[in-house]
């Protein structure tokens, strides 16, 4: 008989090579943030940082399936977030994307182990896919961040509508982005690789009136 668990174990492959001779480039590689970080005044209000080369996993499954929720709980020590919520623990973040989809980010190099653990722990029908190469995370913080981000998205990001921990997939300029509030004046934006240049230019332009510093 076809054993789902067994077949999943046999096809597991680390999509992120451990081989250091393979150079990893973030979607914002061409922007050369390291050089920008050294330029201009360092005391600007808005601080931008790319959380480069995190491992991104997309988890799909039915939220009302107890085997899925207990599997996540046992591996990650947190429960799956409900609508528009996110949870964070020890550098791992789970973001709600849709009723049957979550985005998990974990520090560079830990994604494959987590993927294996999840597949082994979740005994029910689900999918765990490594999408690390397709997107990157930018954090924006400092006085004026909320005001600046209002120019980027039509979503109402006022703290009364978007408290800390809330995550929405909405527009960033004309591109799609997953926006999460991590503090009163602190946000985190997940952008797609193909839109990364556009989003970076848009962000840079939005920050012009406030001034910004790139953190490494």
When binding is defined by CB under 8 A, the residue of 49, 69, 170, 204 that contacts other proteins is: 170
Cα–Cα distances in angstroms (integers) from residue 94 to residues 73, 97, 149, in the given order:
12, 9, 22
Report how far apart the first and last C-alpha atoms of the chain are (Å, whole number).
Answer: 52
Q: Which residues in the 172-211 window bind other proteins by CB under 8 A?
A: 176
Judged by CB under 8 A, does residue 97 bind other proteins? yes
At 214, is the secondary structure helix, strand, or coil? strand
When binding is defined by CB under 8 A, the residue of 91, 99, 163, 183 that contacts other proteins is: 99
Judged by CB under 8 A, does residue 169 bind other proteins? yes
CA distance 168 to 179: 5
Judged by CB under 8 A, does residue 120 bind other proteins? no
Number of chain positions touching other proteins (CB under 8 A): 13
Judged by CB under 8 A, does residue 84 bind other proteins? yes
Task: Name the token pair of 96.
Answer: 């709600």
CA distance 4 to 6: 6
When binding is defined by CB under 8 A, the residue of 28, 80, 168, 191 that contacts other proteins is: 168
Q: Which residues in the 140-159 window bind other proteins by CB under 8 A?
A: 154-155
Judged by CB under 8 A, does residue 117 bind other proteins? no
At 203, is the secondary structure helix, strand, or coil? helix
Q: Which residues in the 31-60 window bind other proteins by CB under 8 A?
A: none
CA distance 105 to 91: 8
Nearest residue (CB) to other proteins, 113 versus 159: 159
CA distance 48 to 150: 16
Judged by CB under 8 A, does residue 98 bind other proteins? yes
Chain residues binding other proteins by CB under 8 A are 83-84, 97-99, 101, 154-155, 168-171, 176
């Amino acid at each position: 008989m076809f054993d789902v668990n067994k077949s999943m174990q046999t096809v597991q492959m680390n999509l992120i090579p451990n081989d250091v001779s393979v150079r990893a480039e973030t979607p914002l590689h061409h922007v050369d943030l390291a050089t920008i970080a050294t330029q201009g005044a360092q005391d600007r209000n808005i601080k931008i940082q790319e959380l480069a080369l995190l491992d991104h996993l997309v988890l799909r499954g039915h939220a009302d399936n107890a085997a899925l929720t207990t599997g996540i709980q046992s591996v990650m020590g947190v429960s799956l977030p409900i609508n528009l919520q996110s949870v964070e623990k020890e550098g791992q973040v789970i973001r709600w994307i849709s009723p049957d989809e979550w985005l998990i980010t974990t520090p560079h190099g830990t994604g494959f182990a987590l993927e294996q653990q999840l597949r082994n722990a979740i005994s029910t029908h689900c999918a765990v896919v490594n999408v690390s190469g397709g997107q990157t995370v930018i954090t924006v913080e400092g006085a004026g961040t909320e005001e600046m981000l209002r120019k980027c998205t039509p979503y109402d990001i006022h703290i009364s509508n978007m408290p800390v921990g809330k995550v929405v997939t909405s527009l960033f300029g004309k591109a799609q982005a997953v926006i999460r509030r991590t503090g009163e004046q602190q946000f985190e934006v997940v952008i797609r690789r193909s839109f990364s240049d556009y989003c970076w230019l848009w962000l840079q332009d939005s920050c012009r009136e406030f001034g910004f510093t790139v953190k490494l």
